[in-house]
Structure 1
Amino acid sequence: MNNKDLARKAKQPGARGFFGNISSRIGSQPSSEPGSMKAADALALLQNFEESGLGWFWSTDASGNLTYITESVAEALGGSSAELVGTPMVSLFLKPDDNESGSRTLPFILTKKVKFNGLEVQAANDEEECWLSISGRPYHDPSGNFLGFRGSGSEVTAQRRQSLDTTRMAKYDSLTGLANRASMTKILETTLAAYQAQNRTCTVMFVDLDRFKQVNDTLGHPAGDELLKQVAERLQKVVGKAGEVGRIGGDEFQIILRDCDDRGVLGDLATKIIGSLSQPYLVGANRCIIGASIGIAISPFDGQSREELVKGADLALYEAKGNGRGRFRFYSKDLQQSAEERRVLGEDLKHAIIKEELALAYQPIVNAKTNIVEGFEALMRWNHSERGIISPALFVPIAEDTNLIWELGEWAINRACRDAASWPGHMRIAVNVAASQFANERFPKLIDDALKQSGLAPERLELEITEDVFMAETNEMDALFQAIKSRDVRLVLDDFGTGHSSLSHLQTAPFDRIKIDQNFLRGATEPGSRNGALIAAIVALADALGMETTAEGVEALDEFDLISKLNVSHVQGYVYSDAVSNAELLDNLDQGQWTIEPSGPTHHRNERLSMYRKVRMIHENHVYSIVIRNLSVSGALVDGLYNVPVGTKFVIDFGDGQLAVATVCRSHRNQQGIEFETRLVSDGNGGLCTSRRVSPYLIAEAGLDVPNLPPGYVPTRKIDTDSLSLPAFSTVADWEATKVKPK
């Protein structure tokens, strides 16, 4: 823009902004006067400033319509200066969606006729994003009449984007793009604060990756970072719009689910997440397999505050990982004690070998056609000096968490080889090897030392490994397989078909036997089950590759008949024998051979959990104390009441807000078989729970104590004792009291 353009604009009606006033001053004075020279210099300086692109000027009349605007910024706003003069100033900019400036919006400021500085506005032009910072002040005539605004501005698009990037970095994880810990904390606190007032529910899931550390250790941190990105994508895909997903650090993720407390739905979602995250990943040229464990806590049942809910989910996660990983766990009140017990057991496990508390039991592996025992699997047992027998399902995960798995594995291999060397005949001994132990570079030497010290022939030793060893498929792993096979030791692929299976494993790794996971057996004999076809396919594959097959966990005769027809070569399970001590084993091998006839229940039935659990049973307005003897998803066997008619309806109070409506379907003296109106669901830890729980608010209103609600949080209802009727049934104590004692 030159001086002629400025002069032309100065002559236009209403265009007496910055340069209009200056031009009029120049035109009214001789050019030789000092004031004229100063004004000309000022005009030139302002013109140069505009042309530099560092800033721009604008002015409006008293109605807020533009009287001047720099040409360059006019183009950015979607027109020329001449086209925009006369249009409302506020029409050039978008109204903030989130009211970023509070009440300091441009229309508000122009209406109030006040000075303003550095107001950021977005151009209404749709072609590309453009942000401007504008400042202005009102001007008046000598009589004090408001004439409009004069101001300046500058483009701040780049600065704005940089600020947004900085803000995003503060809220989102830079690696995965998910919300970070700080952002998830704020979301959860805000949600809980709002939902408490509305008596609504909110669920928190903690997702922790299993065996992720091995990826970092074997493939490096860049591979680990790429794996985390893929995990984030899978999580977002599974959760979708149902909740918020964030990464709270390392390989831990958090999910917030609003208005969802159905534990059946939550369990299904957790199972789906675990299944998705456990599928193989392709990281560069490497194929990786990891897993996931999940802890779940629900507000208001498991806590009111963010701290309580997070602690509950964390304890549930700890329990899930401690019970074998690859599973989910709901929070319950006993988890704090369980976590402390696991910590103490971890300390005790460090001394178990020295104190000679560990032992091996041997479960027969039987030829399905001849019923002759051809080998044994070594199963570790821990006889704690104070607590008695502790399940491997409990202490093996503790060993992995406390880095004791190598020490325990070394002891087991040495003891098994030494025992097997004393057995008559040529029966093999199978020893389970953890993935971390197998991948250790010291492992081949451990095998050499065990065989040398025991004198056991290498071909009699079988190493059972799971597909966890294929989590990171590298050349080093292939070399390790070849190193083990070069020693004539046999390799067994354990738990085949549990979700990580790949035919490439069987093609590349030199396995001698495949163990069919017992999950394939469960329900295989039921009508409509496809498990039999899957077992047949595994057997056919193994036969084609020259491998033996073993079905583990066979308990019922109908299962045994099925796998025999499907030509599974070996069987392991209660249908033949439980694990026995080395002394019992030697007694049965007295003649150098052990033949076992299969025996057991005729048919496999759905699992029922045996227990002795005291609960409350409610009938009308009376509460009885009863005992659950066994429990399934559809019903239970209870005792504690006498002569209850079939068809009587009860409400079973399992505690912690778990209420189930049940009908008596069988009754004999003090025992009743009951059927639930709504099936129970898995609690993620081998137990059962109700799908939904009664809100603590409702329980408090009914006059009962609620652990997660402070006294007085909800007004309690006073119970009218005058309205209570007589009890309908007798309890065991009542019945005993009425018996006539002999003289």
Structure 2
Amino acid sequence: MPYRVLILSPDAHDVGSLRQALGNARDGPFVLEHAATLSDGLRRIEGGQIDVILVDLLLPDSQGLACFDRLHAAARHTPILILCAPDDEADAVETVQRGAQGWLSKGFFDNYLVPQSLRNIIERMKVERGLYVAQARAEITLNSIGDAVVSVDMAGRVDYLNIAAELVCGWSREEARGRPVAEVIDLVDADSGRTITSPVDAILHTDQPASLSGNAILVSSQGRRIPIEDSAAPIHDWDRQLVGAVMVFRDISDTVALTTKMRHLAQHDFLTSLPNRALLSDRITQAIAMSRRNDTAPVLLFLDLDKFKHINDSLGHAMGDRLLQAVSQRLVACVRTSDTVSRHGGDEFVILLANERRARDAALAADKVLLALSAPFVIDTHELHTSTSIGISTFPLDGTDAATLIKNADTAMYHAKDLGRNNYQFFRQDMNTRAVERQLVETNLRRALGRAEFRLHYQPKVDLQTGCITGVEALLRWEHPEWGLVMPERFITIAEECGLIVPIGRWVLGEACAQLVRWRGIGIPNVSVAVNISAVEFRHRDFFTHALEIFDATGVDQTRIQLELTESVLMHDVAASALLLAKFKAMGVQIAVDDFGTGYSSLSYLNEFPIDVLKIDQSFVRAIESGTGAGRNGAIVIAVIDMGKNLHQRVIAEGVEDEAQLAFLKNHNCNEGQGFLFSHPVNAVQMQAMLGNGWPC
């Protein structure tokens, strides 16, 4: 493509010489245009597409530096060369200081270097223009991203901050330029408070990428403490020589807050904020370890509220929840800071007296608790009266580990209830009532499979936006010939402990698959069935093989099967769980996390496992109706819904019982719901009628 040259000169001889020199140039071609006055030249420049300007500073309408300044203002990004006599180069030199690219001496225009120089100047300007565009693009990009970017020179002094870095660090680019990076990026360890060396310092010595280790906190110039995560890398010139370093970091306050919340949730009861079973077990284990050094005797008090079910049933779950919160506050006030009050579940609490010297001192603590709970609880307009039955176990007489101590205190508590409630009882070895019950249930369980006493009931899952049934959950029931319909709460734990859960679970999966096939045979092809898988089943070495045999034997569409597992089951062995779930996923089977938020709540597993569905535990959904739905507990539901969306997982809310809960869930775009508001669990025939009628769509 030709180079377009504008010659501004009133000297016809000079113009002719330039035409001859450039017209014959081997490095051409050049297209030459001519104007004799500055005003004519400026008008031509406005038309654009001029690659270089050759100007004589002695024009009829403008001379000298004033002439150049006007021309340069009009063509700031076009190369300008001055045409001057050899003995009159002073102004030409000055114009170079003001932006000219150089000058050509009159009388030497026919030099073969002239066209070559023009070509080089034009090409160089094109390169500079490209570099400018690239730099501008990079600058806009860096200022548009959310990550903070700071670069330093070889002396470790700041030479650049983007806008995000200015906001996080509290320094403007001008204020920070030239300052030591440690002054602009003030880093401390979140745990110890000690100063952390910036990773760019290491890079300047090692010429290797680096990053912060541990929990880094950036202290801004205003004193704000901001948790960050970062990466840092060396900067090289075109000879691959180290010339500086760049650090990219981001404010992770929201992530840290969510992680902290989920970690707290993993160890604390959502309603009372008391330590949960997992944390209590850890603290009992610690107390046992310390007792051997401190000559102490840890004691457990297992409490169950008297008449709580009556209050809960008559005044509703919301009032029951508020009573539990009030009870927890009184219990905490009864003990020392070294002790632990834990909510064990429902209306059960466990108190760990970690530093008792004498086991009989536990009686004093029990009396204090009985007295504290004997006073009425005033909640709104209601005056509520409750008491508690307390079972006491001591280390090492009644157990040498957390599980045994809890179990024996629980046994003693039931004995206290049998003796009229509102009292306490120390554990004794003859308190074996529950053991007898366990043996009775186990014996009957072993006969139940052979006698075909198990049944499956089904509860629909409903799309909250359309109201359509999206699938069903299979729920196990035991139809005992003498006891009647036995709910899982009575026998599942025993079945898990004695290993019967494996054949029972195999029957449940087989029956659920067979029912799907039967429904498909009568024209109900699109329904899916969720089956709960216990920890014992999931960890059984033949679980996958048995499942595959069931799928093959029934001919079920495996994409219509959903396996529900709790967080604790998955987290027992993450690597093994991930491998097994991947095998099921490859077959099209869906994976759901049941009771999400009540187990370990380790966010990392959400990416480790091929999860399709998160099921919000009904305890969180129930909290919505308690009047706290817009607060902490509602925030947990919202967080799980948002998390599911971001990870492309469907979210199902369990235990939906009223319209207020439904409205809250729909308002926050929860995908599906399940609970008594839609339907109680029903037998296969009733469920088939719902599906066959297209209810409720």
TM-score under structure 2 length normalisation:
0.43
